[in-house]
């Protein structure tokens, strides 16, 4: 958490530090217990002509009732101008900290070379590993900061971020340290994941187990320096098998890490039942999920984290979101921002794609991009909804309703972004004055 934000928010007494009034529509997911599943994702609390009140960086009240008792001469009053307000968006699967970019592989991809073939030939993730190893810590910080600035501009106030572009201790730690510094200095909160098993270095091809042991050997340092909460692995053809994933995730669990898994992105190997068995917080991608995977998730609280920007960018299949909702799964949506399969920080565009290709309703999308996303990164008790004692992270849009934001696509409709009650983005752009 950014310490400058915290300082701004301390004041004695019962009165609000900030009141946002004249909110045309205020939306927040309808929460009961646990993640929001199946058809419940379509129920969102809606307040009209509403207000919200903040004190000490947290919401203290909101709704349609009279708020005059919360005001004194020090309360800052903001007029939302009848516009739409939602909780700050939560992007719960990103690879935000990485060196360089891969535009030179883009043409290959456009000519139809499959993602996994580029990886097999030593490109893809391996190219970014090289660039991340070579970039200075300062260079990595600046590149990642720029991405976080973009994300914040699209209304994202909390992200998950993974390592995995080092595949050796020094660079994995460099990524995680940069991420920790950004978490402390930037308004966006970052929930850190260690993903040392993101790809198998060529020299370990004949001996995968010793690479996994090497990654497990890094746990100690990561834990000691408090650099990650979660451990993730790429369970996929051409990356790591289900047995490999079980071996690594079991060890991670014993170390006290929480778990995530990249599963069924291209092939349904069996990573999803494994995620359920090990009580992972989320199983991510799921484009190729089969009936066994759906059944396993339906009987669990594991979040199905869908990343439709990746399907869009790889021109591949989309996760069967409607089927998942019918089966009662709890869905989140994330950008998967990374330099290979989803090089865009525009989370609102991810949500546009969810509407068009996943055929999710506006309410389902809001639930998936706020509360359920927070649930998958173990933050459901502090962000992802407008509720008393939650962090006062919220977005004021230059739009009158949420369906409009999803319909008018690929445009940034965000007007102002508040993190812990402090305005951190003001997107009022001056074009020119005559």
Which residue lies nearer to ligand NIG by CB, 240 or 247? 240
Closest CA to 355 of 369, 344, 370, 365: 365
Shortest Å, Cβ 196 to ligand NIG: 13
Q: Which residues contact 26 (CB under 8 A, 6 or more apart)?
A: 46, 47, 48, 50, 52, 62, 63, 85, 86, 386
Using CB under 5 A as the binding rule, the residues of this chain from 315 to 354 that contact Fe ion are 336
Candidates 43-51, 76-84, 244-252, 339-347 — which segment interacts with ligand NIG by CB under 6 A?
A: 339-347
- Rule CB under 6 A: is residue 336 a binding residue for ligand NIG? yes
Shortest Å, Cβ 274 to ligand NIG: 16
- Rule CB under 6 A: is residue 339 a binding residue for ligand NIG? yes
Contacted by 163, from ligand NIG, Fe ion, none: CB < 5 to 8 Å by type:
none
Residue 280 · residue 302 · CB < 8 Å: yes
Shortest Å, Cβ 329 to Fe ion: 19
- Rule CB under 6 A: is residue 187 a binding residue for ligand NIG? no
Using CB under 5 A as the binding rule, the residues of this chain from 143 to 172 that contact Fe ion are none
Distances (CA, A) of 155 to 130, 136, 144: 32, 29, 17
Among 158, 310, 311, 370, binds ligand NIG (CB under 6 A): 310
Which residue lies nearer to Fe ion by CB, 17 or 336? 336
Q: Which residues contact 64 (CB under 8 A, 6 or more apart)?
A: 47, 48, 49, 50, 51
Which residue lies nearer to ligand NIG by CB, 63 or 238? 238
Shortest Å, Cβ 198 to ligand NIG: 6
Residue 374 and residue 41: Cα distance in Å, rounded? 14
Closest CA to 37 of 299, 343, 411: 299
Q: Cα torsion at 202, 203, 204, 210 (round to 10°)? A: -150
Contacted by 252, from Fe ion, ligand NIG, none: CB < 5 to 8 Å by type:
none
Which residue lies nearer to Fe ion by CB, 232 or 364? 232
Residue 270 and residue 401: Cα distance in Å, rounded? 40
Residue 96 · residue 144 · CB < 8 Å: yes
Shortest Å, Cβ 396 to ligand NIG: 31
Residue 354 and residue 361: Cα distance in Å, rounded? 9
Length of the chain measured in residues? 434
- Rule CB under 6 A: is residue 338 a binding residue for ligand NIG? yes
Burial call 413-426: b when 16+ CB within 10 Å, e when fewer:
bbbbbbbbbbebbe
- Rule CB under 6 A: is residue 124 a binding residue for ligand NIG? yes
Among 17, 189, 265, 345, binds ligand NIG (CB under 6 A): 265
Shortest Å, Cβ 119 to ligand NIG: 7
**Other beta carbons less than 10 A from residue 434's beta carbon:** 2
Which residue lies nearer to ligand NIG by CB, 130 or 327? 130
3-state secondary structure of 146: helix
Residue 86 and residue 58: Cα distance in Å, rounded? 15
**Other beta carbons less than 10 A from residue 134's beta carbon:** 11
Shortest Å, Cβ 101 to ligand NIG: 10
- Rule CB under 6 A: is residue 234 a binding residue for ligand NIG? yes
* Alpha helical stretches, state H, 123-280: 125-134, 137-153, 169-185, 208-224, 242-254, 271-277
Shortest Å, Cβ 195 to ligand NIG: 8
Shortest Å, Cβ 152 to ligand NIG: 21
Residue 132 and residue 1: Cα distance in Å, rounded? 25
Using CB under 6 A as the binding rule, the residues of this chain from 126 to 185 that contact ligand NIG are 128
Candidates 12-20, 121-129, 185-193, 405-413 — which segment interacts with ligand NIG by CB under 6 A?
A: 121-129
Contacted by 363, from ligand NIG, Fe ion, none: CB < 5 to 8 Å by type:
none
- Rule CB under 6 A: is residue 232 a binding residue for ligand NIG? no
Shortest Å, Cβ 334 to ligand NIG: 9
For the record, the structure tokens of 151 come out as 């994300």
Provide the binding-site residues for ligand NIG, judged by CB under 6 A: 95, 124-125, 128, 234, 262, 265, 310, 336, 338-341
Provide the binding-site residues for Fe ion, judged by CB under 5 A: 336
């Amino acid at each position: 958490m950014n310490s400058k934000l915290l300082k701004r928010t301390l004041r004695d007494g019962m009165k609000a530090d900030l009141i946002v009034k004249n909110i045309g529509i205020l939306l927040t997911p309808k929460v009961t217990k646990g993640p929001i599943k199946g058809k419940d994702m379509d129920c969102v609390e809606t307040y009209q002509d509403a207000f919200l009140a903040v004190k000490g960086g947290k919401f203290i009240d909101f709704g349609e009732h009279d708020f005059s008792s919360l005001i004194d001469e020090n309360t800052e009053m903001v007029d939302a101008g009848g516009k739409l307000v939602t909780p700050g968006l939560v992007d719960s699967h990103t690879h935000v900290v990485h060196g360089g970019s891969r535009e030179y592989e883009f043409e290959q991809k456009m000519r139809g070379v499959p993602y996994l073939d580029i990886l097999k030939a030593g490109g893809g993730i391996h190219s970014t590993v090289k660039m991340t190893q070579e970039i200075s810590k300062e260079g990595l910080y600046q590149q990642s900061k720029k991405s976080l600035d973009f994300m914040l501009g699209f209304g994202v106030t909390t992200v998950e971020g993974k390592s995995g572009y080092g595949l050796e201790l020094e660079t994995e730690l460099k990524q995680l340290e940069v991420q920790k510094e950004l978490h402390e200095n930037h308004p966006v909160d970052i929930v850190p994941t260690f993903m040392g098993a993101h790809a198998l270095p060529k020299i370990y091809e004949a001996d995968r187990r010793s690479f996994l042991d090497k990654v497990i050997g890094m746990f100690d340092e990561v834990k000691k320096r408090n650099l990650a909460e979660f451990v993730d692995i790429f369970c996929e053809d051409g990356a790591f098998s289900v047995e490999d994933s079980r071996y690594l995730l079991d060890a991670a669990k014993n170390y006290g890490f929480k778990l995530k898994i990249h599963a069924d992105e291209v092939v349904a190997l069996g990573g999803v039942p494994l995620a359920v068995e090990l009580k992972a917080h989320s199983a991510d991608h799921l484009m190729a999920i089969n009936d066994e995977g759906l059944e396993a998730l339906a009987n669990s609280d594991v979040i199905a984290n869908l990343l439709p920007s990746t399907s869009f960018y790889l021109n591949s299949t989309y996760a069967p979101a409607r089927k998942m909702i019918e089966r009662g799964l709890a869905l989140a949506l994330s950008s998967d921002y990374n330099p290979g399969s989803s090089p865009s920080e525009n989370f609102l565009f991810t949500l546009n794609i969810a509407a068009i290709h996943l055929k999710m309703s506006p309410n389902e999308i809001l639930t998936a991009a706020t509360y359920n996303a927070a649930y998958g990164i173990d933050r459901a008790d502090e962000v992802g909804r407008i509720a008393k004692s939650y962090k006062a992270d919220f977005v004021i849009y230059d739009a009158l309703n949420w369906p409009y934001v999803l319909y008018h696509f690929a445009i940034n409709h965000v007007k102002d972004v508040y993190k812990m009650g402090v305005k951190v983005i003001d997107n009022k752009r001056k074009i020119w004055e005559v």
